[in-house]
């Protein structure tokens, strides 16, 4: 799968200053389809400084990941050399998280807290080894203790949705 972050684009048919992400090819990983839809439909209201920082992080993530000097190493060394890119990806989604349109609905507690990590997880699924996705998304360590709560909430919310 291509290493390209989603494009932040202003809505054509909405109020001025409201943006959405246009995602490249996706692999949902282990995220439920209902949650993926919620992550994808979130809208943002970034000011000029945020838009510039978001573009900068996207550019740096892609440059670091595609740098030919960092490619021809074994997996362990290559992953270490790509840590800067991983950090820029996390910052990209973290900046976007701060700009979530207040009317956005995400069916988990504290949506702004969860969205950045879930979107980062969604991005990395299919772009790196399955064993690295959780760490790249910042969902390991101290954060991992909250995952059972998140999964329980999501499971109950998704069970409430009637089948079509």
Over residues 123-144, the pLDDT tens digits come to 888 888 777 887 888 776 666 6
Longest distance between any two alpha carbons in the chain, whole Å = 51
Between 146 and 161, whose confidence is greater?
146
For residue 54, give every residue at least 6 positions away whose Cβ sits within 8 Å of its Cβ, in sequence order, or none.
Answer: 8, 46, 92, 95, 96
For residue 154, give every residue at least 6 positions away whose Cβ sits within 8 Å of its Cβ, in sequence order, or none.
Answer: 32, 34, 35, 107, 108
Q: What's the pLDDT tens digit per position in 72-91? A: 888 788 778 889 999 999 99
**Rounded to the nearest 5°, which phi and psi values hold at 4?**
-150, 130
Assess contact for 117 and 94: CB atoms under 8 A. no
pLDDT at 164: 47
- Nearest alpha-carbon partner for 30 in 159, 155, 156: 155
pLDDT at 88: 96
Whether the per-residue pLDDT at 41 is higher than 50: the answer is yes
pLDDT at 11: 92
Q: Which helix (H) or strand (E) holds 9?
A: strand 7-10
Between 69 and 52, whose confidence is greater?
52
Highest mean pLDDT among 2-11, 30-39, 126-135: 2-11
pLDDT at 85: 92
pLDDT at 6: 92
């Amino acid at each position: 799968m291509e290493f390209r972050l989603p494009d932040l684009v202003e809505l054509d048919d909405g109020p001025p200053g409201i943006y959405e992400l246009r995602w490249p090819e996706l692999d949902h990983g282990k995220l439920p389809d209902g949650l993926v839809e919620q992550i994808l439909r979130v809208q943002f209201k970034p000011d000029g400084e945020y838009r510039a920082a978001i573009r900068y992080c996207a550019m740096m993530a892609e440059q670091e990941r595609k740098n030919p000097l960092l490619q021809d190493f074994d997996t362990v060394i290559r992953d270490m050399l790509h840590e800067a890119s991983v950090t820029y990806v996390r910052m990209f989604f973290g900046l976007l998280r701060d700009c979530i349109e207040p009317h956005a609905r995400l069916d988990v507690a504290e949506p702004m807290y969860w969205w950045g990590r879930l979107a980062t997880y969604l991005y990395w699924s299919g772009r790196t080894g399955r064993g690295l996705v959780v760490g790249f998304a910042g969902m390991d360590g101290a954060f991992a203790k909250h995952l059972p709560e998140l999964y329980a909430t999501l499971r109950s919310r998704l069970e409430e949705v009637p089948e079509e």
